[in-house]
């Protein structure tokens, strides 16, 4: 864990004067320009130990929080050992955004609800009393879960990291799982993660790689390029012949937090990866769905997106 005293100073600065920590700035800049987030912003750029990929004893990998998405997607260590993460990093946003957007920024970014992003609306995420999206236009909202805020979490990399049971390294604290950054969503009324103000995410810790894993990630969008996904999913499979011996599947765009789909995994492990088995496994996600009036379309899109990544990961060409 990094012990650079600069991190302590930066944390103290945020606690003393308010505002936010800033990494690549792709999200904070947009919010600042809209008037939603006035700052001040405390920059992490240049702090030592927050960038790059470092092998860990035992076969794991540490990825600094300021590692850009482009660096992550192109890193040979990540691509060879943790392909679901590399593929996910390579499909986020545009090349320009990937060149400056960071791993930590992607995990801790704010949601894309247009009511939250509009300074003329009050909402839970800005300390207000209600969710205008619930009675307004929410066709990009959740289809699973029913908390007070109905906007999906936007982190593609969090979704991929869930499938690796990755840990988040926090300055001055013991590591916690990436899933613990978000909880079950019930507490995300006024924020999009559970990291307290002033705390610094320094890195993500990956476990040893799974030899021969097959990985796939897919985003269902309303246009081909530079669009936030309606639904997205990541799958990691290991097969012995045609039999699935390991499965880790997660989804985004459907709930307040990225979801690990344990029911899909249970429907796959120990079974042959036939079209019927893959389809039945994907269909188990329908039991999670509690559509809002404008998000019923997401239920079948959720199922079909999961099926897409299962089919891709099970294909021989997906073998690592």
- pLDDT reported for residue 190: 86
Write down the pTM of the prediction: 0.94
- HEC-encoded secondary structure of the chain: CCCCHHHHHHHHHHHHHCCEEECCCHHHHHHHHHCCCCCCEEECCCCCCCCCEEECCCCCEEEECCCEHHHHHHCHHHHHHCHHHHHHHHHCCCHHHHHHCEHHHHHHCCCCCHHHHCCCCCCHHHCCCCCHHHHCCCCCCCCECCCCCCCCCCCHHHHHHHCCCCEEEECCCCCEEHHHHCCCCCCCCCCCCCCCCCCCEEEEEECCCCCCCEEEEEEECCCCCCCCCCEEEEEEEEEECCEEEEEEEEEECCCCCCEECHHHHHHHCCCECCHHHHHHHHHHHHHHECCCCCCCHHHHHHHHHHHHHHHHHHCHHHEC
Q: Which domains does the chain have, with CATH numbers?
A: 24-33+51-206 (3.30.465.10), 214-318 (3.30.390.50)
Per-residue pLDDT tens over the stretch 43-84: 998 788 899 999 999 999 999 999 999 999 999 999 999 999
- Give pLDDT < 70 ranges for the chain: 1-5, 224-226, 317-320
- pLDDT reported for residue 48: 83
């Amino acid at each position: 864990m990094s012990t650079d005293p600069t991190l302590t100073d930066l944390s103290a600065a945020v606690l003393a004067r308010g505002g936010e920590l800033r990494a690549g700035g792709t999200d904070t800049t947009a919010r600042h320009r809209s008037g939603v987030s006035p700052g001040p912003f405390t920059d992490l750029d240049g702090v030592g130990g927050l960038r790059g990929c470092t092998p860990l004893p035992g076969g794991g990998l540490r990825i600094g929080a300021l590692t850009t998405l482009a660096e992550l997607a192109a890193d040979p260590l990540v691509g060879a050992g943790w392909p679901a993460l590399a593929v996910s990093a390579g499909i986020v946003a545009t090349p320009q955004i990937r060149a400056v957007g960071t791993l930590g920024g992607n995990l801790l970014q704010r949601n894309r609800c247009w009511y939250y992003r509009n300074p003329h609306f009050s909402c839970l995420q800005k300390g207000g009393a209600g969710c205008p999206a619930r009675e307004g236009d929410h066709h990009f909202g959740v289809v699973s879960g029913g908390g007070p805020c109905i906007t999906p979490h936007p982190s593609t990399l969090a979704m991929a990291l869930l499938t690796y049971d990755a840990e988040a390294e926090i300055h001055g604290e013991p590591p916690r799982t990436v899933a613990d950054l978000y909880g079950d969503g019930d507490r995300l009324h006024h924020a999009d993660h559970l990291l307290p103000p002033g705390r610094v995410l320094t890195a993500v810790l990956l476990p040893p790689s799974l030899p021969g894993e097959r990985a796939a990630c897919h985003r269902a969008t309303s246009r081909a390029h530079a669009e936030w996904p309606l639904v997205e999913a990541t799958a990691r499979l290991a097969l012995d012949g045609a039999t699935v011996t390991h499965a880790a599947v997660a989804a985004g765009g459907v709930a307040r937090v990225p979801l690990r789909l344990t029911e899909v995994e249970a429907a796959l492990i120990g079974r042959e990866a036939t079209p019927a088995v893959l389809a039945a496994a994907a269909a188990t996600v329908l039991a999670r769905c509690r559509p809002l009036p404008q998000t019923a379309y997401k239920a079948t899109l959720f199922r079909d997106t999961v099926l897409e990544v299962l089919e891709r990961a099970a294909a021989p060409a997906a073998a690592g």
